[in-house]
């Protein structure tokens, strides 16, 4: 069963320097029907003006990853990590027992467009850690590349949860199918462009809850970039 979440139905926050679309409830956007899905708590689609960003702020007991679509995002944290994240890069910060970080647009001239996504962990109070990996366009072209997993398989980043995240790029006749185990849920998010999922067209910002489906086929894309989450079969996030 596919349950669709149209981009136009998302929450939105406009702060001048920041435009943020919220797939699920976040900050001042509250929707009783959109409190996350399985272990997926937040998908924020953020556009940050040149030289602006989020000052240092704390997190704990959350798996937070950033996926840059355009521009460059500068990250600093209290673990001593400093990095610049560009398209193709995936950053995963496991907040664990507590960490503070800042995120700024690295450019003085151009905006940055990125997704920030939160996954509820399966353990609390763990040692904080930071991971970053680059996945080339070639690795994602016409296929679903594993970028996050519980065990770091195939060079993916290691998340503290029974969740797997795939990224794919699709144009024209390019297509890929992900086979799900019988007892799994999934969530599909179109980061940009448009694409068909099991024959149904999705546009930029659209999302789909997936239940009781064994195969997800993506194809007939137009400059599409897609994230697919393979998740535990539960309706709402729950802290361990």
pLDDT value at 53 more than 80: no
State whether CATH 2.60.120.10 applies to domain 2-231. Answer: yes
Q: Where are the domains of the chain?
A: 2-231
Q: How far apart are CA 163 and CA 184, in angstroms?
A: 10
Query: What is the rounded CA–CA span in Å between residue 172 and residue 184?
Result: 29
- Nearest in space to 202 (alpha carbons), one of 187, 217, 189, 184: 189
Contact 21, 34 (CB under 8 A): no
Q: What is the pTM of this model?
A: 0.96
Q: What pLDDT sits at residue 83?
A: 86
One DSSP character per residue, 133-194 reads: EE--HHHHBTS-EEEEESS-GGGPEE-SSS-EEEEEEEEEEEEEEEEPPTT-EEEEEEEEEE
Determine the number of helices (DSSP H) and then strands (DSSP E) in the chain: 1, 19
Q: Range with the lowest mean pLDDT among 35-39, 55-59, 129-133, 155-159?
A: 55-59
Please count the other Cβ atoms lying within 10 Å of the Cβ belonging to residue 70.
13
């Amino acid at each position: 069963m596919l349950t669709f979440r149209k981009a136009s139905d998302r929450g939105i926050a406009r702060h001048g320097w920041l435009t943020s679309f919220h797939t699920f409830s976040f900050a001042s956007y509250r929707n009783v029907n959109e409190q996350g899905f399985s272990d997926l708590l937040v998908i924020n689609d953020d556009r940050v003006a040149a030289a602006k960003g989020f000052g240092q702020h704390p997190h704990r007991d959350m798996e937070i990853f950033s996926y840059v679509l355009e521009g460059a995002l500068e990250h600093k944290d209290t673990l001593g990590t400093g990095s610049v994240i560009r398209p193709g890069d995936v950053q995963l910060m496991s907040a664990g027992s507590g960490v503070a970080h800042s995120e700024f647009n690295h450019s003085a001239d151009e905006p940055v467009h990125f997704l920030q996504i939160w996954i509820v962990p399966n353990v609390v109070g763990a040692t904080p850690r930071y991971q970053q990996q680059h996945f080339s366009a070639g690795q994602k072209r016409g296929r679903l590349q594993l970028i996050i997993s519980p065990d770091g398989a195939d060079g993916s980043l290691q998340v503290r949860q029974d969740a797997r995240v795939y990224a794919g790029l699709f144009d024209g006749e390019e297509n890929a199918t992900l086979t799900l185990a019988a007892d799994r849920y999934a969530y599909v998010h179109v980061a940009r462009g448009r694409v068909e999922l099991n024959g149904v067209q999705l546009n930029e910002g659209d999302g789909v809850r997936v239940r009781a489906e064994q195969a997800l086929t993506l194809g007939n894309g137009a400059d599409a970039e897609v994230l697919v989450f393979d998740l535990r079969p539960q309706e709402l996030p729950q802290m361990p």
